[in-house]
Amino acid sequence: MANHKDNGETLHEHQEVYQRYPLVPVHGIPLMEPIVRSWACVENFEARPDDLLIATYPKAGTTWTQEIVDLILARGDVEKACRAPVYIRIPFLEMCSFPDFRSGVDLLMSAPSPRVIKTHLPFQLLPKSFLEKDCKIIYVARNAKDNLVSYYFFDRMNLVQPDPGPWDGYIKKFMEGTVAWGSWYDHVRRYWDERANHRILYLFYEDMKEDLSREIQRVKNFLEVDLSESVVQKIAQHTTFQAMKANPMTNCEDVPSTVFDRTISSFMRKGEVGDWKNYFTVAQREMFDADYQSKMEGTALHFRDVL
C-alpha cells in the first residue's frame, strides 16, 4: 500500500473503507476504482527534472528495486534506509487517498528533491511531465509466468484488489490483460521500445537473481553514484530475499490484515525464478506459450525461463 497514516491512528479503525474494488478503465487500462476517481491529480502530476521513476508491472520486483535504489542513494547506509517503510520512502504515484491516508501524489508534493517514485502505470499513462522533464526511469521486468503466479497470490491476499477467482480463469485474465494495470505484454514491450527515446534502464528480475551485485552496479552507474565495491556488496547483502523478508521496513508487516491477509500468502512470498512450474499444468503451459509467442512476436525483448 502506498498510503500511510501519519497521525498515530491505526488502519484497523477504518477497515470499513477497504473492500475489493472493481477495476475501471482509464484510456483502456483497468485500474482500481478509487485510483480512477482521483485520476486527474495523477495525470496532472508535476515532475521535477531530478525525479527518478521506478516503473514495473505489478509483482515484477518493485520493492526489491526500491530498496536497492534507496540504499544506493544512501551510500549503503542501512540505518538510513530503515527510517521508514519502503512505501513511504518511495511513494506510489497513482495510489489514491483513503479517508485518513495521503495519496501518492500528496506525499510526493511535500517530498524534498531528489524524489524516487514508484509506479505501475504503463508508459502511455505516465504523466506527461515526466517525459517533458526527461526524468530517468528504471524499469524492471519479470518473465510472464512467474509474474503471473506472483500476481495471483498477491491478488488473493490483497483485499483491495479484485478477487482473482480460480487459477485457471486467472491465467486467462492475465493473458487478456483484464487484471489491474492491464496487459503484461504491452507493458513490458512498450518500456522496452521507449529505451530509444528516453533515459530508461531496463532490468530483469532474473538477472538480479543471477548476480545481484552486477545489477546493483548497473543501477548505481545509471544514477551516477560513486560507490566502492564493498558498499555494493553491503547493499547486495541487505537486499537478498531473506534479508528483505526479515526486514520490517521492506516486508510490509505494518500493513494490517484487513488489507493484506497473510493467512493466504505473505508479501515476500518465495522470490524465485521458475516457480511457475509448480502451478501450470502441461495443458495450461502449452496454451499460455502459444499465446505468448503471438503476443511477443517481432520484439527483441527476451526473457529467461519463458518456455
C-alpha span between 53 and 64 (Å, rounded): 14
- Shortest Cβ distance from residue 62 to ligand A3P (Å)? 3
Which one of the spans 21-29, 167-175, 228-236, 265-273 is the region binding ligand A3P (CB under 6 A)?
Answer: 265-273
C-alpha span between 37 and 305 (Å, rounded): 38
Question: Which of 105/203 has CB closer to ligand A3P?
Answer: 203
C-alpha span between 85 and 117 (Å, rounded): 14
Which one of the spans 33-41, 88-96, 178-186, 240-248 is the region binding ligand A3P (CB under 6 A)?
Answer: 240-248
Other beta carbons within 10 Å of 25? 11
153 near ligand A3P (CB under 6 A): yes
164 near ligand A3P (CB under 6 A): no
Catalytic residue among 4, 12, 14, 120: 120
Q: Known catalytic residue: 120? A: yes
Residue 152 grid coordinates: 495471483
C-alpha span between 267 and 256 (Å, rounded): 12
85 near ligand A3P (CB under 6 A): no
Q: Out of 21, 64, 181, 292, which residue is the one contacting ligand A3P (CB under 6 A)?
A: 64
- CB burial of 231-268 (b: ≥16 within 10 Å; e: otherwise) equals bbebbbebbeeeebbebebbbbbbbbebbbeeeebebb
Q: Are 224 and 123 in contact (CB under 8 A)?
A: no
Q: Out of 3, 117, 268, 288, which residue is the one contacting ligand A3P (CB under 6 A)?
A: 268
Amino acid type, 115: R
Question: Which of 57/292 has CB closer to ligand A3P?
Answer: 57
- Shortest Cβ distance from residue 294 to ligand A3P (Å)? 26
Question: Which of 256/271 has CB closer to ligand A3P?
Answer: 271
Q: Out of 31, 35, 60, 107, which residue is the one contacting ligand A3P (CB under 6 A)?
A: 60
271 near ligand A3P (CB under 6 A): yes
Q: ∠75-79-82 over CA atoms, to 5°?
A: 105
4 near ligand A3P (CB under 6 A): no
| Residues whose CB falls within 8 Å of the CB of residue 87, separated by 6 or more in sequence, listed in order | 1, 2, 4, 118, 252
Which one of the spans 55-63, 194-202, 214-222, 254-262 is the region binding ligand A3P (CB under 6 A)?
Answer: 55-63
C-alpha span between 234 and 248 (Å, rounded): 18
Catalytic residue numbers? 120
Residues contributing to the site for ligand A3P (CB under 6 A): 56, 58-64, 150, 153, 239-241, 244, 268-271, 275
